[in-house]
Amino acid sequence: MAAFLLRRLLQSIVLLGIVSIIGFTVLNLIPGGPLAQYALDPGMTEADRLRIAAQMGLDRPLYVQYLEWASRMVQGDWGTSYRDGNAVLTVIARHVPATLLLMGSSTVIAVGVGTWIGIRGATHRNSVLDYMSTVGAMIALSIPTFWFGLIGIYVFSLRLGWLPSGNMYTIGDGSLLNMLHHLIMPSVVLALVHIAIWSRFMRSATLDAISQEFVKTARAKGVPERRVVMKHVVGNALLPMISLAGVQVPSLLTGALVTETVFSWPGMGRLFLDSLSYSDYPVVMGLLMFSAILTIVANFIADVTVALVDPRIRLA
């Protein structure tokens, strides 16, 4: 088990290094580069631009810039925002809670609803619910997330007036109830695609577990069907779902970026787009690395959890 954990940890560190190299290189090769925002100043001369580049260390070779940036990052210095002069970690920290709240609530909805639909569809194959869930999953996977968001705003905010159209709070009202009221629509919209994915995987895993010999043996012994499903089928079907939960983190972050933009939710996704439009590259790079770390940690936890739960992986 210790060797497994060490191997996964080393793989995660190598992967994080590769992500940082690719991200740093791509950002610095974008036309205009980190100095793009200074070009908007009509009074900026070429001499001024070169002086600023020298002060920021941008006149040195790219690999030297990367090594210096990586060295500072390991020490906890992720740079300074071009936009407001604050530390990158401070800027990100202000937006992380909103994104984690949105991702957490949508994950709870997706796992709860998707698991129930998947198990119900597998235990009642070819039923009306099974066909409806299949069609619904195809529709959810075929339509962009922002479209669901816009339809939700039109129906539930503009037409019915049940839910707010955006933001995390109503101005002047920062209560928990008000925040939950604003959270309903973006979390449901973000969860829709993941409900479709989770239900399809859960249905497949449940069908696979139902076909196993131990389930047939339990039924032959006269064990009640409900107990067979809950004790023998669901327990084994959930094992591959643990790995799926880790894999879903990148798609959750991507969906959160779109959802936060549509609903003006003050999270990391909204911050990423704002920073990218302002050419605030230190913040963009910081968000990229934070997202990569979050994804790697989630997958590491999922792999370790599967190894602890499933003795076959642990012994292997």
Least confident of 42-46, 163-167, 184-188, 277-281: 42-46
State the average pLDDT over residues 103-109. 88
pLDDT of residue 314: 57
DSSP state letter for 163: S
pLDDT of residue 37: 66
Least confident of 138-152, 172-186, 203-217, 222-236: 222-236
pLDDT of residue 36: 66
CB 196 within 8 A of CB 109: no
Query: Residue 129 and residue 118: Cα distance in Å, rounded?
Result: 10
CB 189 within 8 A of CB 145: yes
pLDDT of residue 309: 66
Higher pLDDT, 247 or 151: 151
Whole-prediction pTM: 0.79
Residue 153: is its pLDDT beyond 70? Answer: yes
pLDDT of residue 222: 78
Burial string for 25-36 (b: 16+ CB within 10 Å, else e) reads eebbeeeeebbe
CB-facing half-sphere around the CA of 197: CA atoms within 13 A? 19
Higher pLDDT, 303 or 164: 164
| Residue 265 CB neighbours (<10 A) | 25
Query: Residue 161 and residue 178: Cα distance in Å, rounded?
Result: 15
Q: What is the pLDDT of residues 11-44, one digit of tens each?
A: 888 888 898 899 888 887 777 666 666 666 667 6
State the average pLDDT over residues 187-199. 87
Quote the radius of gyration of the chain (alpha carbons, Å): 24
Higher pLDDT, 191 or 34: 191
Q: What is the pLDDT of residues 219-263, one digit of tens each?
A: 777 777 777 777 777 777 777 777 777 677 776 777 778 888 888
Return the SS3 of 124. coil
pLDDT of residue 311: 61
Higher pLDDT, 215 or 65: 65
> Of all residues in the chain, what percent carry a pLDDT higher than 90?
1
Q: How confident is the model at residue 179 (pLDDT cuts 50, 70, 90)?
A: confident
Query: Residue 131 and residue 25: Cα distance in Å, rounded?
Result: 47
Query: Residue 251 and residue 247: Cα distance in Å, rounded?
Result: 8
Higher pLDDT, 164 or 245: 164
Query: Residue 194 and residue 102: Cα distance in Å, rounded?
Result: 13
What value does the mean pLDDT of the chain take?
Answer: 81
Q: What is the pLDDT of residues 282-312, one digit of tens each?
A: 888 888 888 888 888 877 777 777 667 666 6
